[in-house]
């Protein structure tokens, strides 16, 4: 029996728009060709930033964009990316193919990009190969509203007013490419670096590196070290885990079982959120420190004929289902999660956008973000889902995948409901009951669906895109028909 109940008499928390954040690293063609083409390019641009990409991202409404990495962050020195472009040094990108990094796209360019798309910038500082002074001076360059040498340099670079950067990460994956620290060693380094991350009159949001996957031990050891040595250390506001659900098959070639397998792997995000927050609560019961997932998504083998270190992959309807079910998890746990950043924005991993010279397309995952944008700032509501399951085989074992997932939010008299049907070939009739005395007056819906292997290409960029869907939403009970392999967004007037 499949059934959905939405309790409008209760609430979870306001859904932070930063849950719908993105991640843009100096990796492959994410920045160069994806965001930045230069002012002399024949591709229409604003100060070197692609106009088509900006227009597409504005529709997705990213709350925040994380930059410059990733592993790149802990070998990046911000001074290389400021000043006259023709005088910036050319460095080797040691993590992503040892290509030459021209530093044409630096601090000022990234902040302009964020402002153009309507997102807040989130900078990741260099702990692995950098210095405390370097990170302290970056915050001064960005935020000091005075007559220091660094503020004068910022003004000469084009921004007399402060850049007002709020979000600052202290290193990236410091258990691995960011320095191979133990949790205790990183705890010591974090406290030292974070002490000098100053707002210069602006309240900053300082983020510590969390674990790979759901490594509760890393979290416990980090916070134990932080609290044991200095029990009331306050300059930590966020704590960021990473989770990649990987692949099953390739980006576009997979069996029906592999379709189910990858969606199932994506659902492990929920125990990560619950268990990481519980581990944090032991040291932070008032939840002054927010849980962040600032890298997550699918990770397929790179497309044939492309540089394997550039992590370029296609993006199918299956990726869209993983994105949708993950966003629904974050919405349902809006009291636990304050920010997430899917990896990555353009041309890398589970991208929102793919580009090829002058061509640009929005991927199925990008369309999910646009469909789900109305959740931002809404109040998450408790949702009960009774769902049938499908059994699939993976690595010589059988597993069960619930077919229906979803989340609900409320803004005034508007109820927004997002649902997924993971069944590869069958539509499902889903009864919906509104609890708490509310009744639906009317409704409208959009659906993203197609063949389970469907994806957009530069020759056919609109194979997978949202379409209007007929629904009848009246009273406290109604039925929704969810097509096979679909993401559905329903807006209900109460």
Active-site residue set: 173, 295
Angle, in degrees to the nearest 10, between helices 269-281 and 216-229: 20
Helix boundaries (H) for 24-86: 51-60
Is residue 153 packed enough to be buried (19+ CB in 10 Å), middle (13-18) or exposed (0-12)? middle
Q: What tokens does 248 get?
A: 């099953």
Q: What tokens does 471 get?
A: 């629904």
Planar angle of CA 381, 59, 167, nearest 5 degrees: 70
Closest CA to 166 of 139, 191, 141, 136: 139
CA distances from 458 to 126, 193, 463 (A): 37, 45, 10
Q: What tokens does 344 get?
A: 């990555």
Report the C-alpha gap between 175 and 212 in whole angstroms: 8
Report the C-alpha gap between 490 and 494 in whole angstroms: 12
Q: What tokens does 272 get?
A: 């990560």
Helix (H, G, I), strand (E, B) or coil at 24: coil
């Amino acid at each position: 029996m499949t059934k959905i109940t939405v309790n409008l008499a209760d609430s979870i928390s306001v859904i932070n728009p930063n849950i719908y954040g993105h991640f843009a690293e100096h990796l492959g063609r994410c920045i160069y060709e994806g965001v930045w083409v230069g002012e002399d390019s024949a591709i229409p641009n604003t100060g070197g930033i692609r106009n088509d990409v900006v227009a597409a991202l504005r529709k997705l409404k990213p709350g925040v964009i994380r930059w410059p990495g990733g592993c790149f962050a802990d070998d990046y020195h911000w001074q290389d990316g400021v000043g006259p472009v023709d005088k910036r040094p050319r460095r080797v990108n040691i993590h992503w193919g040892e290509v030459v990094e021209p530093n044409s796209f630096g601090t000022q360019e990234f902040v302009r990009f964020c402002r153009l798309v309507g997102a807040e910038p989130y900078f990741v500082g260099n702990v692995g190969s950098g210095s405390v002074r370097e990170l302290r001076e970056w915050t001064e360059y960005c935020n000091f509203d005075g007559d220091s040498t660094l503020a004068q340099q910022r003004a000469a670079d084009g921004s007399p007013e402060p850049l007002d950067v709020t979000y600052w990460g202290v290193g990236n994956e410091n258990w691995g490419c960011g320095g191979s620290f133990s949790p205790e060693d990183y705890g010591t380094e974090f406290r030292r670096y974070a002490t000098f991350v100053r707002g210069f009159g602006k309240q900053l949001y300082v983020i510590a590196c969390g674990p790979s996957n759901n490594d509760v031990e890393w979290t416990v050891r980090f916070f134990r070290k932080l609290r044991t040595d200095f029990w009331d250390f306050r300059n930590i506001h966020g704590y960021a885990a990473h989770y990649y659900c990987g692949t099953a098959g390739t980006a576009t070639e997979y069996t029906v079982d592999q379709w189910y397998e990858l969606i199932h792997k994506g659902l492990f995000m929920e125990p990560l959120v619950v268990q990481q927050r519980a581990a944090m609560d032991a040291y932070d019961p008032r939840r002054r420190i927010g849980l962040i997932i600032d890298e997550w998504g699918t990770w397929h083998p790179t497309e044939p004929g492309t540089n394997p270190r550039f992590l370029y992959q296609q993006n199918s309807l299956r990726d869209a289902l993983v994105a949708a079910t993950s966003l629904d998890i974050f919405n349902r746990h809006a009291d636990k999660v304050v920010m997430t950043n899917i990896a990555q924005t353009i041309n890398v991993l589970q991208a929102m956008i793919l580009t090829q010279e002058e061509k640009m397309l929005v991927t199925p995952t990008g369309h999910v973000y646009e469909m789900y944008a109305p959740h931002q700032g809404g109040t998450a509501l408790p949702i009960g889902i009774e769902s049938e399951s499908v059994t699939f085989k993976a690595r010589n074992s059988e597993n069960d995948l619930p077919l229906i997932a979803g989340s609900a939010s409320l803004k005034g008299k508007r109820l927004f409901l997002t649902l997924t049907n993971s069944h590869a070939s069958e539509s499902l009739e889903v009864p919906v009951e509104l609890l708490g005395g509310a009744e639906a007056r009317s409704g409208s819906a959009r659906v993203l669906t197609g063949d389970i292997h469907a994806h957009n290409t530069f020759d056919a960029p609109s194979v997978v895109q949202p379409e209007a869907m007929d629904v009848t939403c009246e009273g406290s009970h109604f039925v929704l028909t969810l097509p096979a392999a679909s993401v559905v967004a329903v807006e209900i007037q109460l």
